[in-house]
Amino acid sequence: MCTAPCNSDIPETETGVFVVAGPRITPSTEFTLPPSGEVTLEIRVGRRAVYTAGWGLAAVGALGMIGSAATMTFADNNADLLRNGGIALGVSAGAAVTGIVMLALGRTQVRHSVAELPPG
């Protein structure tokens, strides 16, 4: 409909549901707007690449943590396996946390406020 900065009327939809979307951005969750009045949207656009990479990194980190924990569980007091499993566990946990942060930063967030109409 428009590109920021934008000061345009938004036509009504049948459902009253809107989504912020576009090339290379993560679509927002669905939101509704009041039926009338002046509404200001504050949009923090998330990048689709960051969001997708976050899912991948979180998944790889979680799988690495499971594998590392299994290695350490069955190390049978083998110092090398315990040490390597511990290192892999730490690296995997770091990857998982980084992925979760990327997921949060890669989301598109929408806030809206309605202008107060003067009485009468």
Q: Are strands 17-18 and 31-32 parallel, antiparallel or unpaired?
A: antiparallel
Q: How many domains does the chain have?
A: 1
Residue 110 belongs to what domain range? 17-114
pLDDT confidence bin for 120, thresholds 50/70/90: low
Q: Do 54 and 100 meet the contact criterion of CB atoms below 8 Å apart?
A: yes
Residue 120 lies in a domain: no
**Residue 16: is its pLDDT beyond 90?**
no
pLDDT confidence bin for 113, thresholds 50/70/90: confident
Residue 11 lies in a domain: no
Model pLDDT, residue 83: 94
pTM for the model stands at 0.74
Residue 96 lies in a domain: yes
| Interval 32-60: pLDDT, tens | 887 777 788 888 999 999 999 999 999 99
Specify the range with the lowest mean pLDDT, choosing from 19-23, 50-54, 114-118.
114-118
Model pLDDT, residue 99: 97
Q: In this predicted model, which residue has the larger pLDDT, 46 or 14?
A: 46
**What are the φ/ψ torsions at residue 101 (nearest 5 degrees)?**
-65, -40
Residue 28 lies in a domain: yes
Residue 75 lies in a domain: yes
| Interval 81-107: pLDDT, tens | 999 999 999 999 999 999 999 999 999
Residue 119 lies in a domain: no
Q: Do 8 and 1 meet the contact criterion of CB atoms below 8 Å apart?
A: yes
Model pLDDT, residue 35: 72
Nearest to 64 by CA among 93, 84, 97, 102: 93
Residue 5 lies in a domain: no
- Angstrom distance (rounded) from CA 109 to CA 120: 34
Amino acid, res. 55: W
Q: To which residue do tokens 């899912």 refer?
A: 55
Q: What is the mean pLDDT of residues 13-22?
A: 83
Residue 6 lies in a domain: no
